Structure 1
Amino acid sequence: MSGVMERTLALLERLAEDVRGVPLATLSDELDIPRSATHRLLADLAALGYVRQTRERGDYVLTTKLVSLGLNYLKHSGVVDLCQPILDRLAETAGELVRLGVVDVDHITWVALSQGARAGLRYDPDMGLDVKLSCTSSGHAWLATLEEDDAIALLTRQGLGKPPEYGPKAPATIAAVMKAVAQARRQGWALTLETYAPGLSALSTPIRPAGRGAVGVLAISGPTVRLSEERLRALVPELLAAAADIAHVSAASPLFDRAYNRVG
């Protein structure tokens, strides 16, 4: 890996994966950056307040400065203020996790959630991650709003999520994914059972303001022992109504202005 900017961002992304800290040698080996260069970049990031060394072992960890930047960005985007009440109502109705993903041209990132499960098994994923398009209901729901060639191009670029890395029922070919996408297109929503992770079910629909492309996705997800296919189908009307509510207010936030747009 070469280039100061590329290396610096790679270090930040790797540190974001482990809140307990990562040794310098591990960062150097995993990212293929010489140890002297790794040390120099980490020293620069530390001087700027983005990383620090732990007292116990000297491992490097992110500070909260980067987190604060992201939270501040979301705050000023207006997304949370606009959408949180809608997410909370849907989560209360479903009794499961509800998440909002925002389209950023060629990918979707989770930006807000509401946990409706009060007891028993809970699905509590990390926020800020990009949606895996091939094996999630949200990926299928969004791809269903695009031209088939564009959907295939995005799938190919991101790659397929196959078992055993993902769920046992994850589609293993582009054709299998596109079959699920076609069904989502016909229905206006997508349903998956154990495609992203074992024992996980999900239901998603795109957020489409009038006259515009999809600007986001809305998803309900939780343990398959509670969220059977029958239960998910029963939640479709509530999901679609909530997505329509978000679409109605989306014009008030610039974060909802990044729908996919084919170039060329």
Structure 2
Amino acid sequence: MRVVNSLVERCFAVIELLASEASAMRLGEIAERLNLQKSAAHRMLTTLCEMGWVEQESATGFYKLTLRLAILGQRFLRATHISDVCQPVLEDLAAESTELVRMAVVQGETLTWIAQVQGARNGLKYQPEMDAKVALAITANGKAYLSTLNPTDAIRVAINDSVSDGQKRSVVSVEPLMEEMKRSQQRGWAISNEEAEPGVVAIAAPIKLASGKTVGTVSVAGPSTRLTSERHEEIAASVMSAAGKLGELWPLRQQAGG
């Protein structure tokens, strides 16, 4: 159960909740999930409907997001020119690995998925939903990002991420997590071996600028039957190479916008 306070926070809490659900939600469920009085939740929803962010189904009276948030998100992503600059590198990595390639960007102290390219052409294909937020403690991308932080910050960020939005994601205990971060930092890449999803292996590397700042991560993921231990070093080398190219290309986004 999540507690929200200010008017602005309440509005964003409603939007975030509706964005996490594929179907429309009833007023009572929204109020309960956000620990709000029904009357307060109804006022928020009425305001958001008037502003065009939310719509109420005439048949059921349930509430759901309009496409306004998705449209603005796509508009912002186009304005960053990330896809224009980075897409060819992701496509090359997908073709080389013949597996799914994904890229995430750093947003505050979290990671957000923004792009993916499917490299598998035949057989079993790993095609997860593109949930916006990356689970930091259990995914390869999350571990790659955490490995760029100092140990104290890495633990704090991982713990905060595990309990955010009321989710009950388990976090690896401190000592194993610190050992994992140390290994990832030393070799330059991180791995999630069926931790985030059963039967799936992912290998990721941080995307860094020349200044050393980490701006994102890139990964290759696929079924464990194909991404066997014998392939880990080979895939990791390709992922780190792609991460290096992305780091070099990243500043060109501003030029593409000009």
TM-score (norm 2): 0.89
Q: Could you tell me whether the CA contact under 8 Å between 2:134 and 2:141 is conserved in 1? A: yes
Mean alpha-carbon deviation: is it higher for 143-152 or for 117-126? 117-126
Match for residue 223 of structure 2?
Answer: 223
1:20 positional shift: 1.7
Q: Could you tell me whether the CA contact under 8 Å between 2:94 and 2:118 is conserved in 1? A: yes
User: What is the SS of the residue equivalent to 1:212?
Assistant: coil
Pair 1:55–1:120, CA change in 2 (3 A)? farther
Query: What is the count of residue pairs matched by the alignment?
Result: 248
CA distance in 1, matches of 2:202, 2:131: 18
Mean alpha-carbon deviation: is it higher for 131-140 or for 116-125? 116-125
Aligned positions of 1:152-171 closer than 5 A: 152-159=155-162
CA distance in 1, matches of 2:23, 2:81: 31
User: Gapped runs of 5+ residues in structure 2?
Assistant: none
1:59 positional shift: 1.4
1:189 positional shift: 0.6
CA distance in 2, matches of 1:184, 1:96: 21
Match for residue 260 of structure 1?
Answer: none
1:171 positional shift: 6.3
**Aligned mate of 2:31, from 28, 33, 41:** 28
Indicate whether 1:77 and 2:80 are aligned: yes
1:2 positional shift: 2.3
In the TM superposition, structure 1's runs of 4+ consecutive aligned residues that sit over 6 Å from their partners are none
Partner AA of 2:209 in structure 1: P
Indicate whether 1:47 and 2:50 are aligned: yes
User: What is the SS of the residue equivalent to 1:253?
Assistant: helix
Percent identity among equivalent residues? 33
**Aligned mate of 2:115, from 105, 112, 115:** 112
Indicate whether 1:19 and 2:33 are aligned: no
User: Gapped runs of 5+ residues in structure 1?
Assistant: 255-264
1:234 positional shift: 1.8
Match for residue 93 of structure 2?
Answer: 90
Q: Could you tell me whether the CA contact under 8 Å between 1:97 and 1:117 is conserved in 2? A: yes
Partner AA of 2:213 in structure 1: G
Match for residue 252 of structure 1?
Answer: 252
Mean alpha-carbon deviation: is it higher for 51-60 or for 20-29? 51-60
CA distance in 2, matches of 1:4, 1:36: 13
CA distance in 2, matches of 1:5, 1:119: 48
1:122 positional shift: 2.8
Pair 1:115–1:56, CA change in 2 (3 A)? farther
Match for residue 237 of structure 1?
Answer: 237
Mean alpha-carbon deviation: is it higher for 120-129 or for 102-111? 120-129
User: What is the SS of the residue equivalent to 1:61?
Assistant: strand
TM-score (norm 1): 0.87
